Structure 1
Amino acid sequence: MAAETEPAAAAASGGIAGEMEVEAYRRLFPLAFLERHLGESVRPDARRLAEARTPTVALGAVSFAHGSALVRLGDTAMLASIKLEVMSPPAESPDEGSLAVEFHMPPICSPQVRPGRPAEAAPVISKALEDVLISSGMLNLKELCLISGKASWLAYLDIYCLNADGSLFDAALISSVAAFTHLEIPLVSVGDDGRVFTVGGNEGKAKFELVNREKRKLTLGDIPFSLTCALHKDSVLADPTSEEESIIETSMTVVVDSSDRLVSIQKLGGTVASMSTIKECISLAKERRRKLREILTDCVEAMEVDQTEEV
């Protein structure tokens, strides 16, 4: 037990040997190591308990996609891309397009993902992302309609986890939203056989009769933003890393939209959370939403300035 209660002595001795002993203690007694930090209201990566990592967003990361974004959240990295394909709309919604979401976790993203074995978290995150993007009202699927009852767009949204260091859903949602802000719907025309196909370049505009006269952006409604919190005893840790997630069994993910309305709340593991804890998580999510909205807005404005200068 002495090893569990006296890790600071090695650190105080300084030097490489002291650092090695602290790292060994961190690996052997991860919960005790974390709780010593929480007792001082700080985390192993020096963040405050309620402090989330600041994301970086790069739009247009994939040149051949209709919309794409690369997002980093600390060491977590996500690449989202959207490809549009013409399809026949379903009979129950003849004037709407469709959305298909798939979240990918290749073996390079984490040592926990083994080659040849699909990651268990991937289909869960895929379903959660699709539910949030539709239920939030961000997308108006009618805008993806080309010819009512005959042709509409199917938006394939693929999110690739390049590095998994915690809060995967949060990073995936940010990258998805950013990709949709970058999305540009291409020009399309109808052939003599009734087939709808995409048209590129000014030459194509003159040669074919267009269904849509110009490339356009989607009109996005209330945009969803999320924050995952790890819950340990009386501590709420915003935006946990993979190390914190591996130690703490209980987490709560709160999704709010750009009007601060609650879209969804999901709790995993542990006992029933108190109402004060739930309210704290919602409050942190709303604060996080405001910061993320500012970052996304700045990124879009910077992209528009670059496009104007190119013209």
Structure 2
Amino acid sequence: MAPTTDSAPPTTTTPASSNLTPTLFRRLFPRPYLERFLDQGIRPDGRTLDSKPKAALCWRDPSANTGSVSTAPSSALVRLGKTSVVCGITLEIAAPDLTRPNEGFIVPNIDLSPLCSPRFHPGPPSDEAQVLSARLRDIILSSNVLPLSSLVIEPGKAAWVVYLDIVCLNFDGGVLDAAVLAAVGALRSLRFPQAALDPDTNEVVCERVSDAHPGQRIAPASEPFCVSFGVFHGHLLPDPTLFEAELCSTQFTVVVGAAPTGSLAKAPLLHVYQAGAPLDRARETVGECVRLARERAAELRRVVDM
């Protein structure tokens, strides 16, 4: 089903609203605007409301392109509908933490600049950006997509620091979903230079990744996939847009993980984030979200595999 934008509400019930354009009615009366679509079983962008018979019709189209940033050792560009993010990975060598001499570091960061949405302003990272960065770090570490122990060059002396810099290019909801997918795509194609500690100089010697020195790829033990949901007047909205998410009384984010070639039908549940009002049937709603998240994760993995 081809998504539509700024569609007219399916029904009109008041004389005042009949004189408004769809765009103006959406801006002045966002809640009635969304209600009228959902009463007809569809959403403003043309997606179906019922996720059971044809689940593919309730999601936005995803796409991923790895190697999009030529200056980074590895990168990925991901789009979920109108939301788009780019992830660039940079590497650095540092001494391990004294309390964890056999582990390296992963430092993710999500940048929400004014270019992606007028809701963000220049200056220090917004609270939303900091929360998203913290959640991304939790997801990366809990999934073991890149084991910290695999980043050690010499125990207690040298280890890799992996910087995951994710920049949001367009903000239309589901940024964490896109950021996790971009991180997975970038980590898949990442190759670490051959590195060893010189015992004479006590310095790390690296070979630049090239055809002669292809480097080392660390295979992930598990890969995470993040899927967001919103609840509006009892309607479950998978993968909500920014317009829908702002009107939802409750939002869920479900994170599942599985081996790159393993089945996602019973993928382990890594995280469930909930924000907003409590639900009367929370157990049933969360169970439905987990079921849908596993189905969506299979599609997201196919996108990264392409």
- Tell me how far 1:115 sits from its aligned partner: 2.3
Change (3 A) 1:202 1:162: closer
- Once the two structures are TM-superposed, the CA of residue 202 in structure 1 deviates from its matched residue by 6.9
Following TM superposition, by how much is the alpha carbon of 1:273 offset from its aligned partner in structure 2, in angstroms? 5.2
**Counterpart in 2 of 1:239?**
239
Which sections of structure 1, spanning at least 5 residues, go unmatched? 11-17, 206-212, 299-311
Distance 1:118 1:148, change over 3 A: closer
> Residues 54 and 73 of structure 1 are in contact (CA less than 8 Å); yes or no, is this contact kept in structure 2?
yes
Give TM-score, length-normalised by structure 2: 0.85
Partner residue in 2 for 1:295 = 303
Alignment size in residue pairs:
280
Structure 1 residue corresponding to 2:125, chosen from 118, 141, 146: 118
> C-alpha separation between the residues in 2 aligned to 1:7 and 1:23?
17
Percentage identity across paired residues of the two chains: 36
Find the counterpart in structure 1 of residue 8 from structure 2. Answer: none
Q: For the Cα contact (< 8 Å) 1:230–1:240, is it kept in 2? A: yes
* Counterpart for residue 173 of structure 2: 166
Does the CA contact (< 8 Å) of 1:96 and 1:144 recur in 2?
yes
Sort the Cα spacing of 1:179 and 1:8 in 2 relative to 1 into closer, same or farther, 3 A: farther
Q: Find the counterpart in structure 2 of residue 216 from structure 1.
A: 216
- Structure 2 counterparts to residues 1-311 of structure 1, below 5 A: 5-6=13-14, 10=18, 21-49=21-49, 50=51, 51-116=58-123, 118-191=125-198, 192-200=200-208, 215-258=215-258, 259=264, 260-272=267-279, 274=281, 275-298=283-306
CA contact (8 A) 1:7 1:25 kept: no
What stretches of structure 1 move > 3 A for 4+ residues in a row? 6-10, 189-192
For the residues of structure 1 that align with 2:209 and 2:234, how far apart are their CA atoms? 59
Give, in whole Å, the separation in 1 of the partners of 2:16 and 2:173.
27
Deviates more, 1:287-296 or 1:188-197: 188-197
| CA distance in structure 1 between the partners assigned to 2:109 and 2:280 by the alignment | 31
Residue 201 and residue 273 in structure 1: after superposition, are their counterparts in 2 closer, same or farther (change >3 A)? Answer: same
Q: Counterpart of 1:237 in structure 2: which amino acid?
A: L
Q: Cα RMSD over matched residues?
A: 2.2
**Amino acid across the alignment from 1:233:** H
In 2, are the aligned partners of 1:68 and 1:178 still within 8 Å (CA)?
Answer: yes
Question: What's the secondary structure of 1:108's corresponding residue?
Answer: coil
Shift of 1:61: 1.3
TM-score by length of 1: 0.84
Give 3-state SS (helix, strand or coil) of 1:288's partner: helix
Q: Identify if the C-alpha distance between structure 1 residues 8 and 22 changes in structure 2 by more than 3 Å, giving closer, same or farther.
A: farther
Cα deviation 1:62-93 (Å, max 9, x = unaligned): 12222210111111110111111111111222
